[in-house]
Amino acid sequence: MPLSVGDLAPDFTTKDQHGNPLTLSDYRGRKVVLYFYPKDDTPGCTAQACSLRDNYADLKKAGYEVLGVSIDSEKAHSKFITKYDLPFSLVADTDQSVVEAYGVWQEKSMYGRTYMGTVRKTFIIDENGLITDIIEKIDTKNHATQILT
């Protein structure tokens, strides 16, 4: 069953870009922007990450912590963060447990070929761990604005 506004955000523990454990429930008491994206260092994913980077001060001022999630490795995340000077953590969901829990691992198609992949989607989570908004139509170049308005 898909997640909805008002649901408790599924908790998870996985690794960040440094290989350190990262647990969502450790962020209780803070608002979280949990954004899912297909792949590090691709045009759309880079535009989205840079929108969040460029507006990070405003997101922090509004009380948000930002966490990006893809199935890429810690090493790929670390390179992506370094290359684009990203000020937030990226979650390495290499076993696809987080994308499955959030329902963003779905069938996609490109050039007539179907395959399973991560659908771009953002969950806004309040201080109590409840989902307060789900953004499904991501404007990669203006994603921070979508969150802040």
Ranges of each domain in the chain: 13-148
Q: Of the listed 9, 33, 45, 90, which one is catalytic?
A: 45
Q: Return the CATH architecture of domain 13-148.
A: 3-Layer(aba) Sandwich (3.40)
Name the CA dihedral angle for 106, 107, 109, 114, rounded to a multiple of 10 degrees.
150
Roughly what angle, to the nearest 10 degrees, separates helices 43-54 and 74-84? 60
Residue 50 known to be catalytic:
no
Beta carbons of 138 and 146 less than 8 angstroms apart: yes
Tens of pLDDT, residues 16-71: 999 999 999 999 999 999 999 999 999 999 999 999 999 999 999 999 999 999 99
Global pTM reads: 0.96
Q: How far is CA 53 from CA 34, 115, 138, 141, in A?
A: 14, 30, 16, 11
Q: Is 108 left (phi over 0), alpha (psi -120 to 50) or beta?
A: beta
Question: Within a 10 A sphere around the Cβ of 104, how many other Cβ atoms?
Answer: 25
Tens of pLDDT, residues 35-50: 999 999 999 999 999 9
The per-residue pLDDT for 85 is 98
